[in-house]
Chains A and B, each alone.
Chain A
Amino acid sequence: MFGKLTLDAFHHSSMIIVFANAIMIGTGLAVVAALTYYRKWGYLYREWFTTVDHKKIGVIYIVIALIFLLRGFIDASMVRAQQATAGPGMDGYLEAGHFAELFTGHGTMMIFFMAMPFLVGLMNIAIPLQIGARDVSFPLLNAVSVWLTAAAGALVMISLLVGSFSEAGWSGYTPFSGLAHSPGPGVDYWIWALQISGISTTLTGVNFVTTILKKRAPGMTLMRMPMFTWTVLCTSILIVVSFPALTAALALLALDRSAGTHFFTSIMGGDQMLYINMFWLWGHPEVYILVLPAFGIFSEVVTTYCNKRLFGYTSMVWATMAIAFLSFGVWVHHFYTMGQDPLRNSIFGIATMIIAIPTGVKIYDWIWTMFRGRIEYKLPMLWTLGFLITFVMGGMSGVLLAIPGADYKMHNSLFLVAHFHNVLIPGTMFGLLAGFYYWFPKVFGFRLDEKWGRHSFWGWLVGFYVAFVPLYMLGIMGMPRRMVTYDNPAWHFWLVIAAIGAMIVAYGIFAMFMQIYVSWRDREKNADLTGDPWGGRTLEWSIPSPPPEYNFAVVPEVRDRDAFMEMKVSNRAYERPAAYEDIHMPKSTPMPIVVAALSFVFGFAYVWHIWWLAGLCVLGTVAAVIVRSFNEETEFVIPAAEVEADEDAFHRRLKDADVFERIKDIEEYGDERTPNGQFVEPTTRATSGLPG
């Protein structure tokens, strides 16, 4: 009846896990109680659980990401604490198995449930607004994606309570992740959490490729797309082409574990190296899936806060596409030490290094965008500077590891761990946070507090260096990754410093949540009434904050890369049509949340081999899709009068804020304000430039 699920699955020998469960259940109950007390269930169901609005879906993604940022960070801190308290004559406070669950959970959660949802959330919020669209191409599919991600996250969460999580590392190398060596439910939880979130991501990729290629406003040619849109297009193509490799690898691993097949086992003709190839065929493009949109965010941020056009747009576009293309030709560099011949290793080594060329070009393009600019040090710009300085170090250690001869020495050491954190934290995390601060006022209609934001930035930046420079040192000292205990006093010294670094990062994260609270408390004071708090250059800043459900009352006509800036310059900004038209928008539907719930139960049932329940869930999902396909009433109409009333209110706010006066005389693509907010005549500015 319940497959392998018995009461034993609820028994945890470690008091730490019992305590964590108590907190998890306690928080869950408190949230449920609060929602019931304040009678918010109806509101949540109508406005959030059943929504197909890309802006709300984006917010849900980011809420998921922030929850998992906390959980992933707690896991990281526990790893650091263990290694700081283990050492010569000390054993720390964790068992080896629990330690392995922590480093596996940390990697899995940070990649799949923090970085990916955060990224997809920002894509959802910004892309339709940047290309002048009213929604994504497939709003229903979009809602299915977000709730599938939530379902996958819930599987990770419930593994804490029922059974255990994988101990096989975030990459789940075979044959260790096979049934013979990992007989518990942990790897199965890992498989199905990744599988469901991977399918969700594939659907997102399909959705955004179509949205960007088919839904741009008239006049927005490919070479007029904002850089963020370009990078998201490349990332979406990478998703569509690479995630199925992960789907296949995980599906075959699941078959090995549950049906007794021999795809990746070490016996009976299975091939353990096949899994590793398939995993990294997805895994390396995944790195660029994470990092390219962050590059796009930095491009938006640099132009906005330097009040300048982006330097080398065409170079940037080609560099982005080059990175996307090359990312498929480098996967072998994850396992130079598996005994390939030197020719193959050098080819993959050089291919890896070649990626440094377009990446370097991008970095220089950002730097030259700052040149002769007028840089305002708002939060997103700070994160961008932190990124530029820190990322270049990660890139350096990356080129070092790309040389097979050097990698033979550094592979699987903490040097490697330091390297990929040094790339992913500035490259992805800083980018995501820059985007978070940049677009936050657009979504919520108020800005985030600068003071706490600065605390958060310095916490992250200083904490990063204190935490990861020691790992570089430890790698050079020959310390392997993933050690629960060790007895080298030299290692202990540096691990203690790294643990201090983690505490400083913890302060940065605390300051960020503090910042959100303080900004929400003072939301009246921080309100963004004009929809254009930063002197923006792209279309999302031409509409109110928060935008109406239909985004654009009239679909804009694009004449330049900096579409909104061009409108300001040519006095077309905020133009009103002779008459507004009715707008058709997709209706809310509970179908996505039903499908996601079924996926969650399916994953849980598969983990515990409750086959009848898993079968029912598959049937239920197929039925839900078929039932939905018979529903023809999927749209509703927003009457023209309502649109006009919204626009009237928006234009009153613009007038009250003197926006029309301010933008009247802009003649070039620069800023419209001095730092103290006063408007200066554009003619007073010098216009000389370099030859070119």
Chain B
Amino acid sequence: MRTLRVPLIVLLALSLSGCSSQWFIDTFHLNELVTFFTAGPIAAYQRNVMLFTFMVMLFVLVPVVGFTLWFAWHYRAGNQKNTYTPNWHHSNFLEAFLWGGPVAIILILALVTIVSTFDLDPYKPIESENDPIRVQAIAMDWKWLFIYPDYGVAAVNEMAMPVDTPLQIDLTSVSVMNGFMIPRLGSQIMAMSGMRTRLHLMADEKGEFFGKNYQYSGDGFANQRFTAESLSQADFDAWVDKARSSGRPLDLNAYRSLVEPSRNVDPILYSSVPDGLFGYVMHRFQVGDGKIPPDAVPSDLTADDVAQHGHAH
């Protein structure tokens, strides 16, 4: 959605005539308006919904502000030449407009709401010629663990994706409620312990994007962020290879120490991850105290169909 960037900036900049647009952009950091400068179809759709709604709402804003200022000035008590009708208090003609106007606007926006909400449903797969990649995200105090079950690797506070390829992200938490979002790619969704939520995202340009927990979760909240890298397919494969060759497996012991609260965690890559870990940690909250028992062995993780439980839908 690069194409829209220039006109948008110009539009914003034109509102202050006499200054060069570059000066304006730099001073007010307008190139940081990430909600408008999107890098994926979901975020672009959301931006369009917001801009359209904003335009429609101008039909409310302009008359209200205009009439208020006009009447406030014109009918001031000092202006003795004005018509003054103290008893006048009703007009079916006006009332029809006062109720009809908002009803019409809300009808339009209700339509936008239904269509966009179904289109933007986080559970809805994104259509693409490339097959989606599965990611399992686990929110912890205060970092994110991303598991790539198709590749058998995992990463902390760093995730990678091939450009133009949909991601199917399953989320859960092993702590409090967390809100997962990569603003330039699209929607936020909550990660909750004992439950699984799902989010689909796709990047249509390459780059490094800011991602974060958006739901306050305690002392380390401010630094609980990660980098999402959108790479070419070759670079993504290289990233997976780098993880595989890191020689640091995420076994149960490594997992137990990772779960301990920590702040400002630098990215870590894991060369392997036990099958079924995601479902298992979710299941531990449904039947127990949320902790992985000391005597747990890797075969416990696949022992039952835990992943079927706790859909937050």
Contact = CB atoms under 8 A, between A and B. Distances in A.
Given A356-B106, A364-B98, A372-B84, A409 B188 contact: yes
A346 B113 contact: yes
Interface string B180-202: 01011011111011110110000
A337 B189 contact: yes
A668 interface: yes
A615 interface: no
Interface string A478-522: 101111111011110110000000000000000000000000000
B218 A181 contact: yes
Nearest to A311: B89
A347 B264 CA distance: 40
Given A339-B313, A408-B122, A409-B35, A392 B49 contact: no
B310 to A, nearest CB: 11
Interface string A386-401: 0011001101100110
Contacts of A660: none
A342 B194 contact: no
Contact of A409 (B46, B94, B192): B46
B88 to A, nearest CB: 4
Interface in A346-372: 346, 349-350, 353-354, 356-357, 360-361, 363-365, 367-372
B84 A685 contact: yes
B118 interface: yes
A264 to B, nearest CB: 11
A161 B203 CA distance: 51
Contacts of B313: 339-341
B173 to A, nearest CB: 8
A313 interface: yes
B214 A413 contact: yes
B177 interface: yes
Given A341-B313, A372-B83, A480 B218 contact: no
B299 interface: no
Contacts of B189: 337, 339, 408
A179 to B, nearest CB: 12
A385 interface: yes
B46 A411 contact: no
Interface in A299-341: 306-315, 335, 337-341
A453 interface: no
A403 B53 contact: yes
B28 A493 contact: yes
Given A403-B109, A478-B34, A478-B35, A96 B221 contact: yes
Contact of B68 (A181, A389, A669): A389
Interface stretch (A205-213, A373-381, A601-609): A373-381
A96 B220 contact: yes
A483 B60 CA distance: 34
B116 A403 contact: yes
B232 interface: no
B86 interface: yes
Nearest to B56: A399
Contacts of B233: none
A132 B98 CA distance: 33
Contacts of B190: 335, 337-339
Interface in B10-44: 28-29, 32-36, 43
Interface string B97-134: 01101110010011011101111111110000000000
A687 interface: yes
A370 B90 contact: no
A268 B291 CA distance: 12
Nearest to A352: B113
Contacts of B255: none
A279 to B, nearest CB: 13
Contact of A477 (B33, B45, B212): B33
Q: Which of B50, B57, B72 has most chain A Cβ within 10 Å?
A: B72
A401 B162 CA distance: 31
A538 interface: no
Given A308-B85, A312-B89, A346-B118, A353 B177 contact: no
Given A96-B219, A353-B106, A365-B98, A339 B46 contact: no
Contacts of A493: 28-29
Interface in A445-485: 473, 475-478, 480-485
A335 B29 CA distance: 30
- Contact-size category for A: 35 or more
Interface string A158-189: 00000000010100010110000100000000
A303 to B, nearest CB: 9
Given A342-B118, A396-B60, A409-B43, A477 B32 contact: yes
Contacts of A412: 179, 181, 188, 214-215
B46 A485 contact: no
A373 B109 CA distance: 34
A58 interface: no
Nearest to B31: A490
A137 B206 CA distance: 69
Nearest to B72: A385
A542 to B, nearest CB: 19
B85 A688 contact: yes
A368 B124 CA distance: 47
A461 to B, nearest CB: 14
A577 interface: no
B84 A385 contact: no
A490 B219 CA distance: 23
A396 B105 CA distance: 12
A477 B35 contact: yes
B65 interface: yes
Contacts of B221: 96, 482-484
Interface string B208-229: 0010111111111111000000
A349 B117 contact: yes
A404 interface: yes
Contacts of B35: 409-410, 475-478
Contact of B119 (A360, A364, A405, A685): A405
A405 B113 contact: yes
Contacts of B288: 267-268
B238 interface: no
Contacts of A339: 122-123, 189-190, 195, 197-198, 312-313
B188 A337 contact: yes
A670 interface: yes
Contacts of A489: 29
Contacts of A631: none
B42 to A, nearest CB: 8
Given A399-B53, A413-B214, A483-B222, 17 more contacts: A181-B176, A267-B193, A269-B286, A308-B86, A309-B89, A337-B179, A349-B117, A357-B99, A363-B64, A372-B84, A395-B60, A405-B117, A412-B214, A675-B78, A688-B83, A690-B93, A692-B93
Interface of B: 28-29, 32-36, 43, 45-46, 49-50, 53-54, 57, 60-61, 64-65, 67-69, 71-72, 75-78, 80, 82-95, 98-99, 101-103, 106, 109-110, 112-114, 116-124, 175-177, 179, 181, 183-184, 186-190, 192-195, 197-198, 210, 212-223, 285-286, 288-290, 312-313
24 contacts: A96-B219, A266-B176, A311-B90, A349-B117, A350-B113, A353-B110, A357-B99, A367-B64, A371-B75, A372-B83, A373-B84, A374-B77, A392-B60, A399-B109, A400-B50, A403-B113, A403-B116, A405-B120, A406-B50, A412-B188, A478-B183, A478-B184, A480-B214, A489-B29
